[in-house]
Structure 1
Amino acid sequence: MDYSDIASVSGKGGLFKIVKPTRTGVILESLDDKKQKLVASATQRISVLSDISIYTTDQEGSTPLAEVFKKIYQEFNDDLGVTSTSSPDELKAFLKHIIPDYDPQRVYVSDIKKVINWYGALIENAPEILSAEDKEEKEDTKKD
């Protein structure tokens, strides 16, 4: 499983594994222990994690969410020190630590809360995604 297999559905909490497409939408399964199935139609807003980025002020203009999660995993593993209920200033400081050039004008506190919640869901229900990337990077540095 990778970031292109996991989606967020607008109006639904949590993350969902993409099971398979249908004629009128896609079948999703919640990542949590409940494994609830959901058929999302074309009218619902579905965002695949591999397509989501965080706005930055650098020349590229954004950082892919996969890179953000990789940085968080390398530095904090499963103990972030903040939660989605932390104060807005703490949340902004946390993201500033991870992405020093994030754009505070376009990245809202609610976005940072989603990143923290999604990271927690991945650590709890799909840690292989985060650890697989870390292993790949270590193997690449050994080859150089």
Structure 2
Amino acid sequence: MKFKELATVSGKPGLYKVLKPTRSGVILEALDEKKSKLVVGASQRVSILSEISIYTTTEEGAIALEDVMKKIEKEFKGDLGVDGTADADELKAFLKHVLPEFDEDRVYASDIKKLITWYQIIRKQVPESLEEVVAEEGADANVESSEDSKEA
């Protein structure tokens, strides 16, 4: 499962798998043990994880949530040492370790709590999402290196 198939609904906890669109919204399935289904109408805000990013102080101004999750998985392999109940300073220190260039003025402790909670849900329910990202990165690097050799 890819990040473009995962969503969050404003005002509802957890993450959801996008099943299919309807005329008036979208059908989602909760990423938990219950696997309950939910029809979300146009009046509710649904955000696809592949479209979410974290503010940075770099020239680009943001980094994709998918890239941050990939960094977390690569470094911690699920053992974060911090959870969503940690205090704000601890959360910021964690994100500073993973993403030193994050914008401390625009990324709030609540955002970091969501990041950690979502990471834990993905790691538990759809760990292949994090693995696919690593596999795709290797494939992309191979494509780029073969394109560079063609240009030379």
Shared fold (TM-score, shorter chain, > 0.5): yes
Name the CA distance, whole Å, in 2 between partners of 1:48 and 1:135.
21
How far did residue 132 of structure 1 move? Answer: 1.5
Match of residue 15 from structure 2: 15
1:136 Cα deviation after fit:
3.0
Amino acid at match of 1:44: Q
Equivalent pairs counted in the alignment come to: 144
CA RMSD of aligned residues (A): 1.3
Q: Which residue of 2 aligns with 1:124?
A: 124
Q: CA deviation at 1:88?
A: 1.0
CA distance in structure 1 between the aligned counterparts of 2:7 and 2:77, rounded to whole angstroms? 22
Give the structure-1-normalised TM-score: 0.95
AA paired with 1:70? Answer: K
- Larger mean CA deviation between 60-69 and 134-143 belongs to 134-143
Letter in 2 for 1:49: L
Task: Tell me the amino acid that sits aligned with residue 8 of structure 1.
Answer: T
Q: Offset at 1:87?
A: 1.5
- CA positional deviation for 1:14: 0.2
Letter in 1 for 2:61: G
* TM-superposition CA deviations, 1:33-76 (whole Å, max 9, x none): 11011000000011000000000011000000000000000000
Partner Cα distance (2:74, 2:27) in 1: 32
Matched with 2:108 is 108
2:110 aligned partner, one-letter code: S
Q: Deviations over 1:75-133 (max 9, x none)?
A: 00110110000121110001011111100111000000000000000000000000121
Query: Please, what TM-score do these two structures have when normalized by structure 2?
Result: 0.90
Asked if 1 retains the 8 angstrom alpha-carbon contact of 2:2 and 2:132, the reply is: no
Q: Equivalent residue of 1:26, what SS?
A: strand
Residue in structure 1 matched with residue 149 of structure 2 by the alignment:
none
Structure 1 residues 82 and 19: CA distance shift in structure 2, 3 A: same
Distance in 1 between residues matched to 2:11 and 2:113, nearest whole Å: 15
Q: What percentage of aligned pairs have identical amino acids?
A: 55
User: For residues 110 and 18 of structure 1, what CA distance do their matches in structure 2 show?
Assistant: 24
Cα distance between partner residues in 2 of 1:133 and 1:39: 28
5+ residue gaps, structure 2, are 146-152
Q: Which has the larger radius of gyration?
A: 2
